[in-house]
Each structure stands twice: as C-alpha cells, then as structure tokens.
C-alpha cells in the first residue's frame, strides 16, 4: 500500500514536466519557418513562377522539417521520413498554392496559399504520423492548413514586406503557427510515455 501511495504522486509531475518540455522545444522550432524561408529566398529568389516555387518550397520544407525533428526529440517519428515528407509537402504546397492565386501577395491570396500549403504538408506528414497516432493523424492536415493560413495573415498584418514573394511567412506568423500546432508534440509525448510504461 505504501508503494502505491508514493508512486502515484511522482508519476503525474514527471508527465507534466515531459509535456512542458515537449511544448517548450516545439515553440523554439518556430525559427525553422523564417530560416527556411530566408534560405530559399537567397538561393532560389522570389516565388514568381513554378521553378522558384518548387525549389524554394523544397528547401524551406527541408529546413523546417530538420528543425522540427530536433524539437520533437525522443518522441519524434523517423527523422528522415519526417524531413522528406515536410520538404515534398512544402514543395507541392507552395507551387500549387502560389499558382492558384497567380503569385499575388495580398492578404487573402497569401491566406489561400498558406491553407493549401498547410494541407499538403499536413497530408504528407500524416503518413509519417499514422503509425504513432493512428486515426488522430487524420486531423493533422486541417490543423496545419488553418495554422499556416493564419500565419500568413499575421505576418501580412504585422507589416512585413510580403511583396518580396517569400515561400513562407516570417517570425510573427511562425510563432502563431507553432503555438497552434503544439498539440502535435503533446500527442507524440503521450504516445512515447505509454510506450515507455509498457516496456517497463
């Protein structure tokens, strides 16, 4: 009886600390958005046609995916699969989304571009997440779609020079999008904790 009483309180704080640590690391990953976008802008230029959209999206997604792999730490899915899914999804999303709005950079157009990009990145990432999260992975594309649309809206409203035709929004939008998607590290952390408990 004594063992049960002493074990129960210690388990809850450990799980709480793990959740806080997961969200904290995930919030730091917001930097992957502007870092990836800036790298793409330097190397591929403005998103004003299919070529820059494809190559810039691929590079942006690869950088973002790598930063997110670091952020997810022990609970992460397979790193290479996640990076590839993010890169390919971003490449397709930026290319299709930007073409859909004819490469315009007004708020509404960028929100549409963000929604399309988020949906395609989310679909690619959900394939990687499915073995861990099961049916919950189906919710990821709409969550990411809404988050990236809002990210573009926040960046535009903040007065950033979006006419430069970046592949992705800047830091202000990235902070919002990262906060809105913090449900992912929490879900992965719970799955990882259950696996550890089952193994013990």
Q: Which residue matches tokens 């509404």?
A: 108
User: What pLDDT, on a 0 to 100 scale, did the predictor assign at position 73?
Assistant: 84
Distance of CA 187 to the CA centre of its chain: 14
Token pair in block for residue 36: 């990836």
**What's the confidence (pLDDT) of residue 195?**
55
Would you state the pLDDT for residue 75?
Answer: 75
User: What integer pLDDT is reported at residue 97 of this predicted model?
Assistant: 98
Burial of residue 130 (number of CB atoms within 10 Å: 0-12, 13-18, 19+): middle
Q: Averaged in consecutive runs of 10 residues, what is the pLDDT profile of the chain (200 residues)?
A: 43 59 92 97 97 98 97 88 98 98 97 98 97 94 98 95 96 97 91 56
User: What is the per-residue pLDDT across 154-177, written as a single tens digit (0 to 9) for each?
Assistant: 999 999 999 999 999 999 999 999
Q: How much is the pLDDT for 192?
A: 65
pTM: 0.87
How far lies 186's CA from each of 48, 56, 123, 149, 160, in Å?
37, 30, 19, 22, 31
- The answer to whether 80 and 57 have CB atoms below 8 angstroms apart is no
């Amino acid at each position: 009886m004594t063992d049960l009483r002493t074990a129960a309180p210690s388990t809850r704080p450990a799980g709480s600390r793990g959740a806080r640590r997961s969200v904290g690391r995930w919030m730091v990953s917001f930097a992957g958005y502007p870092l990836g976008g800036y790298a793409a802008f330097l190397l591929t230029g403005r998103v004003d046609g299919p070529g820059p959209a494809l190559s810039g999206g691929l590079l942006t997604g690869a950088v973002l995916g790598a930063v997110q792999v670091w952020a997810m730490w022990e609970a992460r899915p397979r790193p290479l699969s996640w990076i590839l899914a993010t890169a390919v999804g971003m490449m397709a999303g930026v290319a299709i989304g930007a073409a859909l709005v004819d490469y315009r950079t007004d708020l509404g157009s960028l929100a549409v571009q963000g929604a399309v990009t988020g949906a395609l990145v989310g679909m690619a990432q959900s394939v990687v997440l499915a073995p861990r999260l099961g049916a919950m992975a189906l919710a990821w594309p709409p969550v990411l779609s809404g988050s990236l649309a809002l990210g573009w809206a926040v960046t535009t409203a903040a007065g950033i020079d979006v006419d430069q035709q970046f592949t992705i929004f800047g830091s202000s939008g990235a902070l919002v999008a990262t906060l809105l998607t913090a449900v992912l590290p929490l879900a992965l952390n719970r799955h990882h904790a259950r696996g550890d408990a089952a193994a013990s």
